[in-house]
Structure 1
Amino acid sequence: MPFLSDNAAAVHPAVWAAMQGADGADRPYDNDALSQSLDEAFGALFGRECAVLWVASGTAANCLALAGMVQPHRAVICHRAAHIQVDECGAPGFFTHGAGLMLVDGDHALITPEAIANAIAPLRRDVHQVWPQAVSITQATEAGCVYTPAQVAAIGASARAHDLRLHMDGARFANAVAFLGCTPAAASCDGGVDALSFGCVKNGAMNAEALVFFDSHLADITRYNRKRSGHLQSKGRFMAAQLLAMLRGDLWLANARAANAAAGEIAAAAPGRLLHPVQANEVFMTLTATERDALRAQGFAFYDWGADGARFVTAWDADAGEVTALARALAGL
């Protein structure tokens, strides 16, 4: 009974069907009809003009976005637990040709305008020190928590006040929007986000993420960086087909709601154990080594989280019976 990661979830049947439908001759790279329709499709979703590029991974989406924003001698402000810091093997520095990460703290992996200001305050603007050029936030965070539209707007205002770009790692953006019950724009670009890594792989796609730019100049830069980094796939229509399938009928949102509901059921079974509020599809809780062994003996798969914790992740295709079984097992500890 797997609760290790939403990366392990199945590909949604609608995505498979869309890829099959794209299996005909068309122009290569991103010149096919499906790729050319992405700007309009995502523009309708966000209610404003945007430029959209497909990429094959969240790491590529994050780091290509940052490479268009940040010069090699500059830096990105992010949370200490941010995926770009902890789980991308130095890829931000690789893609930006050396730009650094300035790490800040914050409860539940959320950063604040005050944290941004405090990171900048000691710096001198001279050739001896690294000055930030962008802020990166994660929606939902690495602790499974969500920035409200007001929080995003406050960070966006702080970024603009310090002449910084704002990137949003939205690997679980759909789960955040499903929790907030707001528009996708309210959770991102309305608050000043310049580029959004719109995650689909964790939410039913096979190998396509959408890199959404609300500044076309950044998209123009990134087209070249995508090619130079080996991410311009020749049969891009199959990538575009996945993204369009996720948007069709708001499949992206329905899938996220299903995953969130499963996480909510698990969290409700052990409220006194929760390490973070459960606002998306990840549940972090305290469990002793003995308790973890007992759960695994019953067939549940999950990751340890520190010496006395565990992480459970639900996906769009979570089996209702397995979710209920886990909830009962947790309640019975």
Structure 2
Amino acid sequence: MYLASDNTGPIHPKVMEALARANTGYVHGYGNDPETEAAKTALRDLFEAPEAEVFLVPGGTAGNALALGTMVPPWQAVYCSGLAHIHVDECNAPEFYTGGAKMVATDPGDMVTPASLQKALGFWNTGDVHQPSGGVLSLTNVTERGNTYTLDEMRALFALAHEHGLSTHLDGARFANACAKLGCTPAEMSWKIGADAVTFGGTKNGCMAVEAVIFFDPDKARGMAFRRMRAGHLMSKHRFLAAQMNAYLAEGLWLELAKKANATCARLVEGLTALGVEVTTRTPANLIYFHLPLRQHEALLASGAVYYHMPEPGDGPDTSVRGRLVCDWNLSFDQIDQFLQKTKAVL
């Protein structure tokens, strides 16, 4: 009943097998190898973007920060939600790699709206030399609160950003889960609705450590290769990143694992709702937030459930406290049912 995060589960056996196969013989380093070329080709095929520039990195923070650093000079801004990972969970890495570009949270929550983006642009993106000019809009799908933007919602936001001269970036740490939720293709959730670049995650969905930064317009990727090297994120034994990605994409494994995680989450939501538990995530894929009194959280955790809850100083035992549950590809329906039985017992 480990529901703390989808980056703490095991690596899928097919990914481990691919790493073992790559661990033979000698090949050139730093991405100059057949495995890496195959991964780039596979990603271009998956995204229906034959001209795209593709860069593999070992983690999502590196992918987001380097992508934004390539797209945004220091005098511009990065527009995002108030809970965006790039804003609150990456230790100022985007600011560092952009050389100090301003982070502008358009909303306090996890989702940007056209109204909030328009308001933020009206305040900051004025052309006044005293304020940041231009920049990039970065959305996260699935969001940090587990919600999933629709294609139309993202299309409208990307179009608004482009109207104001901004580039657009999609943080896709859970890109596969969003695709599975929406029933769309990677192309339909990226360049076809206006994304200029995407960080396509693998680590949270069965890989060991690999993300792909994809620029659909090669001109927007200028400098990325040098930034990756300068940041220490060009792996010398690059074939081991590529081997993971090739296994992840082969025969649609990336989508299969996401569908499995989403299905267990749907069972979780159904069960909690039936028990009368408040689930605050409106359009979940594989991650939800919910509320219970603190004493019930503590009883659940003591019973062996593993997840995060967020009490604040001074909260009493009957205070309603937010908790987070995340389903990864390895969770079974039986494990979900065990968690629901324990939840029923503490209610």
TM-score, structure 2 length as denominator?
0.92
* Structure 2: stretches of 5+ with no match in the other structure: 313-320
The aligned counterpart of 1:330 is: 343
The aligned counterpart of 1:258 is: 260
In the alignment, the residues of structure 2 paired with residue 331 and residue 283 of structure 1 have an alpha-carbon distance, to the nearest angstrom, of: 18
The aligned counterpart of 2:317 is: none
Please give the secondary structure, in 2, of the residue aligned with 1:224: helix
Counterparts of residues 1-333 of structure 1 (less than 5 Å): 1-23=1-23, 24-49=25-50, 50-105=52-107, 109-123=110-124, 124-271=126-273, 272=276, 273-307=278-312, 308-332=321-345, 333=347
Please give the secondary structure, in 1, of the residue aligned with 2:2: coil
Instruction: Flag the 1:198–1:249 CA change in 2: closer, same or farther, 3 A.
Output: same
Q: CA deviation at 1:152?
A: 1.4
Instruction: Flag the 1:95–1:126 CA change in 2: closer, same or farther, 3 A.
Output: same
In the alignment, the residues of structure 1 paired with residue 11 and residue 31 of structure 2 have an alpha-carbon distance, to the nearest angstrom, of: 23
Please give the secondary structure, in 1, of the residue aligned with 2:168: strand
Which region of structure 1 is more displaced relative to structure 2, 142-151 or 299-308? Answer: 299-308
Q: Is the 8 A contact 1:258 1:316 kept in 2?
A: yes
Q: Is the 8 A contact 1:200 1:209 kept in 2?
A: yes
Q: Is the 8 A contact 2:57 2:212 kept in 1?
A: yes
Please give the secondary structure, in 2, of the residue aligned with 1:277: coil
Please give the secondary structure, in 2, of the residue aligned with 1:299: coil
- Provide Cα deviations, 1:59-85, integer angstroms capped at 9, x if missing partner: 000011101110011110000000001
List structure 1 segments (4+ residues) > 3 angstroms apart after TM superposition: none
TM-score, structure 1 length as denominator?
0.96
In the alignment, the residues of structure 2 paired with residue 265 and residue 133 of structure 1 have an alpha-carbon distance, to the nearest angstrom, of: 40
In the alignment, the residues of structure 2 paired with residue 122 and residue 207 of structure 1 have an alpha-carbon distance, to the nearest angstrom, of: 39
* Structure 1: stretches of 5+ with no match in the other structure: none
Q: CA deviation at 1:306?
A: 4.9
Q: CA deviation at 1:163?
A: 0.7
Q: CA deviation at 1:146?
A: 0.9
Please give the secondary structure, in 2, of the residue aligned with 1:38: helix
Q: CA deviation at 1:156?
A: 1.4
Which region of structure 1 is more displaced relative to structure 2, 112-121 or 68-77? Answer: 112-121
Please give the secondary structure, in 2, of the residue aligned with 1:269: helix
Instruction: Flag the 1:148–1:88 CA change in 2: closer, same or farther, 3 A.
Output: same
Please give the secondary structure, in 1, of the residue aligned with 2:7: helix
In the alignment, the residues of structure 2 paired with residue 293 and residue 160 of structure 1 have an alpha-carbon distance, to the nearest angstrom, of: 47
The percent identity for this pair of structures is: 39
- Provide Cα deviations, 1:17-57, integer angstroms capped at 9, x if missing partner: 11111123111101111112233211211122222111011
Q: Is the 8 A contact 2:148 2:283 kept in 1?
A: no
Q: How many residues align?
A: 332
Which region of structure 1 is more displaced relative to structure 2, 96-105 or 210-219? Answer: 210-219
What is the Cα-based RMSD across aligned positions, in Å? Answer: 1.4
Q: CA deviation at 1:87?
A: 0.5
